[in-house]
């Protein structure tokens, strides 16, 4: 049993973790709170919630945690996991204490050196999520070719009414998503979990698609596609969250962006099916719509074999189940224990500022709780930017556009659309590496200007005088393909990746539902209005309008979208704790002038002071002083090991045999160097 002083220390530390505002006396934290308010993180500090807890108190808290959560038999590994979680990326600082086995140390190193060495269960999860994304892409492209036959099949006139009906048929899934599918995601997730929701969604993407192939009136087809939208919405709101919650932080971006990669693959398969079915004859459109059932069947089957999201289990207070799930999703029990305790510790922080409530309350808090409101703004921005960039006028109507600019027949238009689908898929692959290397924000800021000029160029090519069929379609197709090549590694994967990770666990489903609903509602509006816009403005006018919207979206992203790469889901609380006005001020007064100095005037010595300031990751006592490891007489460890998160530095350490305490100062991360 702990002594009286130990209990007092433990109480003090517990208060710190849960929101004590007593200032730290550590000079490194002078003038700041010992605990960071995630609703008003004005100092832009990123704090490990376990900082400030001595070894003895940490172990006492872990023991209480294990007793209360039914994890008593895992107490020893939980102690180790909590210790590693406390030291974060600086786990090498505890090597000398011999708390970790060689296998455990190796597994932690491999997270940096070999981050793609993950368990089979995680690969199965990603494959299943990828199939779900392919369903989404295939569903979107079935009507791309089929709408060329709708006028004859349903006897639609060329007047405004006929154009609106054509737009309604094409837009039905997106209104189904925005009005029903996304909003059912939260209650479905709450009752059935991530896997159960995906299973229900797979069935809703299977039977309506099959039914659409047998429709006799446009009203029947509209109803089938509206129900299809319910499945698409709940699936699109759940799969990115499921992938994000199952993945380690080092590869989370790549795992979640597989949604867009395989959506692009589904689009490619859909355009291929459209091309193949076109030769069937008058009923080709039925096969083009119905072929989307092909990936929905394996999705419904494979999801049964995947582990449930550990964070969903934690949300339901089912910690033993969460630990079992993490054991399947991580290479070593130490990593599973570390992640479990780190998630639990951060949720204790979240509960201080974010109340759990019913569905309506959680929706209202998307706009009223400062930390969540900033996440909502960022997610809304990247989602609405996907519609502003103009990708869906190509994805939905490329066959119509290519016929408009001179394709000689339907087969030629479908072949040009197939090329778009191929480019969209091929150029999504670089994002697997780039999204966690350059970051979400950087990819968007680079690709949006490129999309603006390529779309404008495609529109201007239609003004070339001469034979329409020979002078227009080739240059228009080239610039549309360039547009797709810039879209695929940027605005393609980022919106769903970003929206799936920025919300706290308590609001993740409703936040993602809102984001997807906004994205696909405006996709529906675009789908309804573009036939009219094309008729009034032509390709040049409509493409020119969307090129301007690309620049508007670029400004919105620059001002409202913080970077999230290489951050744990729980660490993002501090990123979105920074007030929006402070973030905008930094971007306008610091980042933008630096960019001009560095990349316009080529001043190689231009420096940019980082916005976010990591706190010292070493344990401290309740007064904010560093806690030495418990072995008496030990030398203090160096207070800088941030190089451990850098692959080249870890490799250098392995080659030279340097220990953490002897690494040369020149190799230390400059922003944390003791030399300043």
* Residue 631 clears pLDDT 50, i.e. is over it: no
What is the mean predicted confidence (pLDDT) over 5-20? 37
Hunting for tokens 């001002």 — which residue is that?
A: 559
What's the pLDDT score for residue 144? 78
How does residue 33 score in pLDDT terms, banded at 50, 70 and 90?
very low
What's the pLDDT score for residue 41? 58
What's the pLDDT score for residue 90? 67
3-state class (DSSP) for residue 607: coil
Q: Quick one: CA dihedral 261, 267, 272, 273, positive or negative?
A: positive
Hunting for tokens 């290489």 — which residue is that?
A: 566
What is the mean predicted confidence (pLDDT) over 624-636? 40
What is the mean predicted confidence (pLDDT) over 59-63? 93
The number of beta carbons lying within 10 Å of the beta carbon of residue 254 is: 23
Q: Nearest-CA neighbor of 259 among 521, 519, 494, 442?
A: 494
Q: Are 566 and 249 in contact (CB under 8 A)?
A: yes
**pLDDT winner (highest mean) among 53-62, 194-203, 231-240:** 194-203
Q: 612 or 380: which carries more pLDDT confidence?
A: 380
**pLDDT winner (highest mean) among 242-256, 270-284, 293-307, 565-579:** 293-307
Instruction: Give the percent of the chain with pLDDT over 90.
Output: 44
Q: What is the largest CA-CA distance in the chain?
A: 92
Q: Is 463 exposed, middle or buried (0-12, 13-18, 19+ CB in 10 A)?
A: exposed
Q: 655 or 208: which carries more pLDDT confidence?
A: 208
Global pTM? 0.73
Spatial separation of the C-alpha atoms in residues 135 and 70, rounded to whole Å: 39
* Residue 309 clears pLDDT 50, i.e. is over it: yes
How does residue 1 score in pLDDT terms, banded at 50, 70 and 90?
very low
pLDDT in tens, 123-153: 999 899 999 999 999 988 877 788 878 888 8
Q: Are 667 and 652 in contact (CB under 8 A)?
A: yes
Q: Tell me how far the alpha carbon of residue 588 is from its chain's centroid.
A: 25
Range with lowest mean pLDDT among 295-299, 358-362, 446-450, 508-512 = 358-362
What's the pLDDT score for residue 37? 59
Q: Are 440 and 498 in contact (CB under 8 A)?
A: yes
Q: 650 or 372: which carries more pLDDT confidence?
A: 372
Q: Are 402 and 416 in contact (CB under 8 A)?
A: yes
Q: Are 443 and 382 in contact (CB under 8 A)?
A: no
- Rounded (10°) CA dihedral 589, 590, 594, 595: -70
Range with lowest mean pLDDT among 233-247, 283-297, 615-629 = 615-629
How does residue 30 score in pLDDT terms, banded at 50, 70 and 90?
very low
Q: Tell me how far the alpha carbon of residue 459 is from its chain's centroid.
A: 32
H or E element in which residue 46 lies: strand 45-46
Q: Nearest-CA neighbor of 53 among 423, 281, 341, 351?
A: 341
Report residue 626: phi and psi, to 5°.
-60, 140
Alpha helices in 561-596 (DSSP H): 572-575, 580-586, 592-595
What's the pLDDT score for residue 10? 36
* Residue 651 clears pLDDT 60, i.e. is over it: no
Q: 347 or 47: which carries more pLDDT confidence?
A: 347
Characterize the bridge pairing of strands 45-46 and 613-614: parallel
Report residue 196: phi and psi, to 5°.
-65, -40
What's the pLDDT score for residue 464? 82
Inter-CA distances, 97 with 5, 102, 493, 630, 631, Å? 25, 12, 43, 9, 8
Range with lowest mean pLDDT among 98-102, 478-482, 612-616 = 612-616
Spatial separation of the C-alpha atoms in residues 45 and 611, rounded to whole Å: 9
**Structure tokens, 153:** 């099949």
Q: 199 or 462: which carries more pLDDT confidence?
A: 199
The number of beta carbons lying within 10 Å of the beta carbon of residue 672 is: 16
The number of beta carbons lying within 10 Å of the beta carbon of residue 441 is: 19
Spatial separation of the C-alpha atoms in residues 405 and 351, rounded to whole Å: 57
H or E element in which residue 221 lies: helix 218-246
What's the pLDDT score for residue 355? 61
* Residue 326 clears pLDDT 50, i.e. is over it: yes
Range with lowest mean pLDDT among 1-10, 381-390, 460-469, 606-615 = 1-10
The number of beta carbons lying within 10 Å of the beta carbon of residue 193 is: 19
* Residue 458 clears pLDDT 90, i.e. is over it: yes
Q: 616 or 204: which carries more pLDDT confidence?
A: 204
- Rounded (10°) CA dihedral 342, 343, 344, 350: 110
Q: 573 or 255: which carries more pLDDT confidence?
A: 573
* Residue 579 CA neighbour count, 13 Å, CB half: 6
Q: Are 631 and 33 in contact (CB under 8 A)?
A: no
Q: Is 15 exposed, middle or buried (0-12, 13-18, 19+ CB in 10 A)?
A: middle
pLDDT in tens, 655-671: 333 333 333 333 233 33
Task: Calculate the average pLDDT of the chain.
Answer: 81
Hunting for tokens 């299809």 — which residue is that?
A: 228
Range with lowest mean pLDDT among 21-30, 216-225, 615-624 = 21-30
CATH homologous superfamily, domain 120-575: MFS general substrate transporter like domains (1.20.1250.20)
The number of beta carbons lying within 10 Å of the beta carbon of residue 626 is: 14
* Residue 548 clears pLDDT 90, i.e. is over it: yes
pLDDT in tens, 252-289: 777 777 787 899 899 899 989 888 888 887 788 899 89
Q: Quick one: CA dihedral 570, 571, 576, 577, positive or negative?
A: positive
Range with lowest mean pLDDT among 167-176, 213-222, 236-245, 651-660 = 651-660
Q: Nearest-CA neighbor of 155 among 231, 76, 218?
A: 218
**Structure tokens, 672:** 């944390």
Range with lowest mean pLDDT among 151-155, 446-450, 472-476, 615-619 = 615-619
Q: Are 575 and 45 in contact (CB under 8 A)?
A: no
Spatial separation of the C-alpha atoms in residues 509 and 492, rounded to whole Å: 21
Report residue 45: phi and psi, to 5°.
-90, 145
Kindly write down the DSSP assignment for every residue of 80-123, as one continuous string. Answer: HHHHHHHHGGGGGGGGGGT-S-HHHHHHHHHHHHTTT---HHHH
Spatial separation of the C-alpha atoms in residues 669 and 658, rounded to whole Å: 16
**pLDDT winner (highest mean) among 153-157, 344-348, 554-558:** 554-558
């Amino acid at each position: 049993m702990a002594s009286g002083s130990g209990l007092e220390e433990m109480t003090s530390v517990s208060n710190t973790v849960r929101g004590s505002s007593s200032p730290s006396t550590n000079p490194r934290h002078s003038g700041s709170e010992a605990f960071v308010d995630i609703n008003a993180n004005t100092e832009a500090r990123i704090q490990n919630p376990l900082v400030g807890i001595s070894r003895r108190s940490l172990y006492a808290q872990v023991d209480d945690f294990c007793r209360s959560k039914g994890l008593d038999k895992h107490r020893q590994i939980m102690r180790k996991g909590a210790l590693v979680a406390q030291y974060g990326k600086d786990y090498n600082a505890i090597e000398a204490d011999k708390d970790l086995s060689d296998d455990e140390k190796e597994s932690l190193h491999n997270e940096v050196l070999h981050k793609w060495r993950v368990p089979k269960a995680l690969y199965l999860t990603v494959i299943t999520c990828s199939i779900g994304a392919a369903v989404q892409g295939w569903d979107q492209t079935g009507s791309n070719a089929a709408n060329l036959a709708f006028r004859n099949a349903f006897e639609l006139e060329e007047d405004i009414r006929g154009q609106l009906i054509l737009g309604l048929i094409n837009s039905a899934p997106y209104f189904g998503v925005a009005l029903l599918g996304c909003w059912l995601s939260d209650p479905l997730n709450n009752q059935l979990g991530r896997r159960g929701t995906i299973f229900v969604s797979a069935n809703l993407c299977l039977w309506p698609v099959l039914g659409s192939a047998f429709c006799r009136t446009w009203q029947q087809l509209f109803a089938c596609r509206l129900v299809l939208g319910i499945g698409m919405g709940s699936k699109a709101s759940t799969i990115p969250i499921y992938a994000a919650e199952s993945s380690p932080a080092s590869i989370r971006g790549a795992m979640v962006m597989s949604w867009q990669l395989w959506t692009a693959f589904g689009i490619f398969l859909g355009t291929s099916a459209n091309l193949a079915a076109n030769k069937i004859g008058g009923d080709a459109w039925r096969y083009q719509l119905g072929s989307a059932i092909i990936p929905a069947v394996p999705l419904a089957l494979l999801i049964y074999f995947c582990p449930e999201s550990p964070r969903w289990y934690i949300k339901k207070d089912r910690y033993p189940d969460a630990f079992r799930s993490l054991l399947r999703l991580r290479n070593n029990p130490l990593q599973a224990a570390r992640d479990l305790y780190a998630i639990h510790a951060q949720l204790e922080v979240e509960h201080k500022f974010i109340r759990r409530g019913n569905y309506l309350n959680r929706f209202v808090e998307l706009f009223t709780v400062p930390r969540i409101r900033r996440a909502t703004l960022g997610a809304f921005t990247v989602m609405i930017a996907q519609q502003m960039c103009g990708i869906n006028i190509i994805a939905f109507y490329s066959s119509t556009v290519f016929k408009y600019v001179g394709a000689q027949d339907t087969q030629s238009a479908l072949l040009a659309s197939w090329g778009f689908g191929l480019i969209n898929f091929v150029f999504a692959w670089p994002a697997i590496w780039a999204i966690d290397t350059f970051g979400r924000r950087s990819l968007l800021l680079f690709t949006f200007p490129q999309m603006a000029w390529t779309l404008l160029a495609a529109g201007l090519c239609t003004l070339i005088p001469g034979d329409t069929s020979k002078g227009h379609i080739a240059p228009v197709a080239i610039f549309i393909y360039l547009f797709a090549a810039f879209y695929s590694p940027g605005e393609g994967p980022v919106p769903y990746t970003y929206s799936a990770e920025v919300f706290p666990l308590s609001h993740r489903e409703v936040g993602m539902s809102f984001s997807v609903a906004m994205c696909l509602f405006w996709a529906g509006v675009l789908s309804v209005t573009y036939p009219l816009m094309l008729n009034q403005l032509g390709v040049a006018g409509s493409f020119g309008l969307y090129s301007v919207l690309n620049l508007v979206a670029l400004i919105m992203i620059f001002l409202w979208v913080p970077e999230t790469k290489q951050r744990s889901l729980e660490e993002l609380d501090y990123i979105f704790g920074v007030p929006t006005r402070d973030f905008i001020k930094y971007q306008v007064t610091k980042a933008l002038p630096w960019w001009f100095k560095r990349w316009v005037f080529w001043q190689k010595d231009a420096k940019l002071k980082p916005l976010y300031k990591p706190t010292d990751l070493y344990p401290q006592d309740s007064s904010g002083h560093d806690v030495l490891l418990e072995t008496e007489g030990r030398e203090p460890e160096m207070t800088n090991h941030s190089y451990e998160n850098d692959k080249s530095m870890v490799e250098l350490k392995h080659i030279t045999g340097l220990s953490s305490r002897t690494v040369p100062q020149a190799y230390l991360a400059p922003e944390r160097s003791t030399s300043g």
